[in-house]
Amino acid sequence: MPLVAHTNLPTFDRLKNEGFEVLSCERARDQDIRELHVGLLNMMPDAALAATERQFYRLIARSNLIAQFHIHPFTLDALPRSEKAAQHIADYYENFTTIQELGLDALIITGANVTHPNLADESFWEPLAGVISWAYEYVTSTLCSCLATHAVVDHFYGINRYHLGFKRWGVFEHRVTMHDHPLVQTINSRFDVPHSRFNQIDRQQLEEAGLRVLAESDTAGVHLAVSPDLFRQVFFQGHPEYDINSLLKEYKREVGLYFNGKRHSYPPFPDNYLSMHAQAILNEYREHAEESQQHGEPLPEFPEALIIPMLDITWRDTAKAVVSNWLGIVYQITNKERSKPFMEGIDPNDPLGLK
């Protein structure tokens, strides 16, 4: 369904060139289609800021819902930004105070880089807590991704993530574990999701706090869970929004960190992501890179163009279906007066009527 280009955000032009339907405000006003206003709290670091923005815009645009989507990107002032990223935010992002006044139908919160073992010590902790507390009161549903999931379950339910001792990195198979929930009723019972994280929360931790797990992996653990009321908070521990080359770009970045002495060992391959042929090309590249490092020469050009045609994306359809289901439920139960408290006339402890 169409996105509405209600700002000059460059992402709209890029998605339009990719074939997505993007309406101007003038054209949108002529359509007899209901609007949905979705907030995007983008906390990703500068290098991934615009890419993450595009990934979530694409997921929303691929939903099957008959609605006009107005997406409202914003971020937190406490997050450090380069001059370029700060200018992008100043030019195209919105102010949270204004968003509070106008209201939202739904909210997405991205991951973020962290520098402390305890999330409460992060500079963004208090402002993030303010956003999620407001959203719980006034927004129909909040979808949290990766680090945002860890932060929200910590803040609301006292669930502490734990360090794995390694990076969970790659594409992993998952199975649906609660088949009657409307978020997963239209998806395959087995599907893939990319993960990229050092920390984890487990099924037992979630269930002891009353949350429900909808999908998990034998290897990567829980991916999809919901709050005790079954909908007001939706949690992704993986990254279904990732593009086909997102993990490859992460691998490329890790290689650069190793080459520049910012990591101790050469990075391993992401699990279940690269073909044997692609791995052979990258192993050969490693030899050239380490030889250049020994001789004080620049890092050779990364063979990204060679590898991308060898990649498969095995998670997009499921990601699209889950987000479409999520927005469909929001559409059905959202409060049309967005600045009013959550869903007047609907039981906030059981908004889906499943209990």
Candidates 40, 199, 53; CA nearest to 119 is: 199
pLDDT by residue, tens only, the chain of 355 residues:
568 888 889 988 888 888 777 878 776 666 667 889 999 999 999 999 999 999 999 999 988 777 889 999 999 999 999 999 999 999 999 999 999 999 999 999 999 999 888 999 999 999 999 999 999 999 999 999 999 999 999 999 999 999 999 999 999 999 999 999 999 988 999 999 999 999 999 999 999 999 999 999 999 999 999 999 999 999 999 999 999 999 999 999 999 999 999 999 999 999 999 999 999 999 999 999 999 999 999 999 999 999 999 999 999 999 999 999 999 889 888 755 565 665 555 666 777 766 6
At residue 35, the pLDDT reads: 86
pLDDT at 339: 55
CA dihedral (74, 75, 81, 86) in degrees, to 10, reads: 20
3-state secondary structure the chain: CCEEECCCCHHHHHHHHCCCCEEEHHHHHCCCCCEEEEEEECCCCHHHHHHHHHHHHHHHHCCCCCCEEEEEEECCCCCCCCHHHHHHHHHHCCCHHHHHHHCCCEEEECCCCCCCCCHHHCCCHHHHHHHHHHHHHHCCEEEEECHHHHHHHHHHHCCCCEEEEEEEEEEEEEEECCCCCCCCCCCCCEEEEEEEEEEECCHHHHHHCCCEEEEEECCCEEEEEECCCCCCEEEECCCCCCCCCHHHHHHHHHHHHHHCCCCCCCCCCCECCCCHHHHHHHHHHHHHHHHHHHCCCCCCCCCHHHHHHHCCCCCHHHHHHHHHHHHHHHHHHCCCCCCCCCCCCCCCCCCCCCC
For residue 30, the model assigns a pLDDT of 60
Q: What is d(CA 309, CA 286) in angstroms, rounded to the nearest whole number?
A: 20
Domain parsing of the chain, residue ranges: 3-243+313-333, 246-310
Which residues are known to be catalytic?
146, 239, 241
pLDDT at 25: 77
pLDDT at 32: 60
- pTM, two decimals, is 0.89
Name residue 163's beta-bridge partners: 199
**CA nearest neighbour of 305 among 285, 332, 327:** 285
Tens-digit pLDDT profile for residues 64-115: 777 889 999 999 999 999 999 999 999 999 999 999 999 999 999 999 999 8
Residue range 3-243+313-333, CATH number: 3.40.50.880
